[in-house]
Amino acid sequence: MKTPKRYLCPWDYMADPSVHVWDGRLYIYPSHDWEPADFVENDNGDHFNMKDYHVLSLEGDPMTAEVVDHGKVLDVADIPWAGRQLWDCEVARKDGKYYMYFPLKDRNDIFRLGVAISDKPEGPFVPQPDPVRGSYSIDYAVFEEDGVYYLYFGGLWGGQLQRYQDNKALESAYLPEGKEPALPSRVVRLSDDMLGFAEDPRPVVILDKEGKPLTADNPYRFFEASWMHKYNGKYYLSYSTGDTHYLCHAIGDSPYGPFTYAGVIMTPVVGWTTHHSIVEYNGKWWLFHHDSVPSGGKTWLRSLKVCELTYDENGVINPIEGLDE
């Protein structure tokens, strides 16, 4: 049976949802897709023309509640060090402040992590003057536990993760192949002021059932779009496999991992891949994601969706079919 899904903002193209529940209201922080002026589709993602952020919110049943668009809350023109391509964002709350984490290419076309701050979850957000020192790559997700904030990040190909090893830039990018261990995402504890790293980023290792790292030729290895949530005392790392087009999850006993591969969350959607968040709201679990059906399959013009997510008796997420037809 197909899982019912809902398009959240059919009036605009938005994607890469980061979702949080604050004070009983659900807030969605998406990227914002625009038709590119100069179209060049390639593995670097040059066809993605994202240049600002909106905030959406709702209260009630995510399948039926009114979605409020709070308008533009940050523009690439507001960021002093900006080059181009304001990709996915994430927001965390601490001590009454809201911290937006965003990847943006600097003027050398290198992705860095920027931070912008607001007094309200719906923004607007004021950017810091410089990127975070030692930052790189894309797809940031924040997980908080007991006052400690962990930042997960990393994306291959256009996300530039293959350009780094041991947190240092390589002279030549390197992508593992075949039976080599797959390139992992990263996790780092944020500093107390939420504006930097409190430690060196660590690899997020995903193991198979035999306790060996997933290999580069495994269709379920990490590619991009990390997310972290906790369920029944376990830590759930979820992620996109990119060029094999799945959403998958792995389960561990620590926010640092390692994580053991547990299965597919969502099969391929219309569009190159999807990017997601998993949150509990009003007694149910929800998967926020995107596809490219409304744009006729244009991978650079994506639309936000939501559906209910469930677990089996062993705590494994039940797979959801990505296609609605």
Whether residue 203 has a cis bond before it, omega within 30° of 0: no
324 is known as an active-site residue: no
Which one of the listed residues 88, 90, 224, 291 is annotated catalytic?
A: 224
| Known active-site residue 224 | yes
Instruction: Please report, for residues 15, 54, 80, 227, 315, the alpha-carbon distance to residue 18 in angstroms, rounded to integers and kept in the order given.
Output: 9, 12, 24, 9, 23
- Report the length, in residues, of the chain: 325
Q: Taken in order 185, 46, 99, 71, is the CA torsion positive or negative?
A: negative
Q: SS3 for 323?
A: coil
277 secondary structure, DSSP code = E
Containing 68, the helix (H) or strand (E) segment is: strand 68-75
Q: What angle do CA 2, 63, 290 make, to 5 degrees?
A: 65
CA 125 to chain centre: 19
- Options 16, 88, 139, 291, the catalytic residue: 16
**Partner residues linked to 97 by β-bridges:** 94
Residue pair 225/155 in contact by the 8 Å Cβ criterion: yes
Spatial separation of the C-alpha atoms in residues 225 and 275, rounded to whole Å: 6
**CA–CA separation, 26 vs 316, rounded Å?**
24
Q: How many CB atoms lie within 10 A of CB 323?
A: 12
Rounded to 5 degrees, φ, ψ at 152 are: -105, 145
Contact call for residues 138 and 111 (beta carbons, < 8 A): yes
- Tell me which residues are annotated as active site: 16, 224
